[in-house]
Amino acid sequence: MANFLVWCVWLVAAFACLASALAVVSFRNPFYSALALIGNLASLAVLFLLLSGEFVAAGQVLVYGGAVMVMFLFVIAYLGDRTEESPWSGGPSWQIVGAVLAGGAILAEVIVVVGLEAGNFLSQPKHIGRSFGSPEAIGRLFLTDHLLAFEVTSIVLLVAAVGGVVLGAHARQLEGDARP
C-alpha cells in the first residue's frame, strides 16, 4: 500500500517537474517562464522529500523558491514586457539540429548507463536511520567533514553580493554622468 502511494506521488511530482521544465523553456513571456520554474522547484522539493532529504527540501523551497525566484520576478517586472516574437529562431543554421543531437546524445548515454547498472548497484539503496537528512546531521557534516566547503561557499556568497552592488552602482554612476 505504501509502495503504491509513494509511486503515485512520485509520478505526479515527476510529471509536474517535466511539464514545468518544458514550460520554462517554451513560453514566450519570461514572467510565465519564471512562474513555471517556481512550479518546477516545488515539485523537486516533493521529490527530495521522497528521498528523505527533508532539510534540503526545506532549503529548496525557502532559498531557491523564496529568494532566488523572487529576485527573478523583480527583475523581470523591472525590465518590462519582453515577450519574444519568435523564441526559437536565429543563430546559425545548424543550431537546432546540433542542439537536439547533443542533448539527445547526453540523454541516451545516461539511459544506457542506467540500463547497464539497473538490477545491481542502483537497485539496492542502503538502509538508513531516522536521523538521515535531519538538520543535525547536515549541520554536523558542514562543521566537521565539509568545513572548507562551508567556508568557501560563504565567500562565494559574499563575492556575489559585492558583485551585485558593483553592477548596480556602476550603472547608476554612468547614468549620473549621462545626464546633462
Partner 1 sequence: MHGPEIQWYVILSAILFTTGALGVMLRRSPLIILLSVEIMLNAANLLLIAFSRLHGREDGQIFAISVMAVAASEVVVGLGLIVAMGRRHVDLDVDKLRTLRG
Partner 2 sequence: MIDAAAWVCLLLPLASAIAITLAGTRVSRRLTGYVSTITTMGAFAAAVVAFIGLLGESPEDRTHTTTAWTWLSAGPYHFGLTLLTDQLSVVMMLIVTGVGSLIIAYSLGYMDREDEERRFFAYMSLFVFSMLLLVQANNLLILLAGWGMVGLSSYLLIGFYQERPVAIAAAKKAFVMNAFGDATMALALFLLIEHTGQLDYAGVFATSPQSGTAANLIALGLLGGAVAKSAQVPLHTWLPDAMEGPTPVSALIHAATMVTAGVYLIVRCHTLFENAYIVEDLAAALGAITLVMAGLIALVQTDIKKVIAYSTMSQIGYMFVGAGLGAYPNAMFHLMTHAFFKALLFLAAGIAIHALTGEQDIRRLAGVGKLMPYTKIVFLIGTLALVGIFPFAGFFSKDSILAASLDRGWYGATIFVIGVVGALLTGLYAFRLYFVVFTGEPSPFAREHYHAHQGKEGPVSMLWTVGVLAVLSCVGGLLQFAPFWDPLSKWLDPVDAPIATATSWEEWFASGLSLSAGLLGIFIAWSIYAAKRRPAPKPVTLFEKKFYWDELYDLVWYRSTESLTRGLYAFVERPLIAGSLTAVTSAFGLGSRELSTAQNGLVRSYALALAGGIAVLAVVFLAAR
Residue numbers of the site for partner 2 (CB under 8 A)? Answer: 91-92, 95, 98-99, 101-103, 105-106, 109-110, 112-113
CB of 55 to partner 1, least distance (A): 7
Extended strands (E) in the chain: none
DSSP state letters, 28-96: SSHHHHHHHHHHHHHHHHHHHHHTT-HHHHHHIIIIIIIIIHHHHHHHHHHH-----S-TT--S-TTHH
CA pair distance 86, 110, nearest whole angstrom: 32
Helix (H, G, I), strand (E, B) or coil at 19: helix
Residues 113-172 that bind partner 1 (CB under 8 A): 114, 117-118, 122-123, 125-128, 132-133, 137-138, 141-142, 145-146, 149, 153, 156-157, 159-161, 163-164, 167-168, 170-171
For position 17 contacting partner 1 by CB under 8 A, the verdict is yes
Is 106 a residue that touches partner 1 (CB under 8 A)?
Answer: yes
Pick 101 or 169: Cβ nearer partner 2: 101
- Report how far residue 163's alpha carbon sits from residue 157's, in angstroms, rounded to the nearest whole number: 10
Decide: 52 and 130 in contact? Cβ < 8 Å: no
Binding residues among 32-51 for partner 1 as defined by CB under 8 A: 33-34, 37, 40-41, 44, 47-48, 50-51
C-alpha cell at 133: 537528512
* Using rule CB under 8 A, residue 101 touches partner 1: no
| Residue 70 interacts with partner 1 (CB under 8 A): yes or no | no
For 44, the grid coordinates are 523537486
**CA atoms of 45 and 57, how far apart (whole Å):** 5
Contact between 64 and partner 1 by CB under 8 A: the answer reads: yes
**Residue 101 Cβ vs partner 2, minimum distance, rounded to whole Å:** 8
Kindly tell me which of 91 and 135 has the beta carbon lying closer to partner 2.
91
58 near partner 1 (CB under 8 A):
no
Cα(151)–Cα(155) distance, integer angstroms: 6
- When the beta carbons of 95 and 131 are compared against partner 2, the nearer one is 95
Quote the least distance from Cβ 138 to partner 2, whole Å: 30
Neighbours of 41 (CB within 10 A): 19
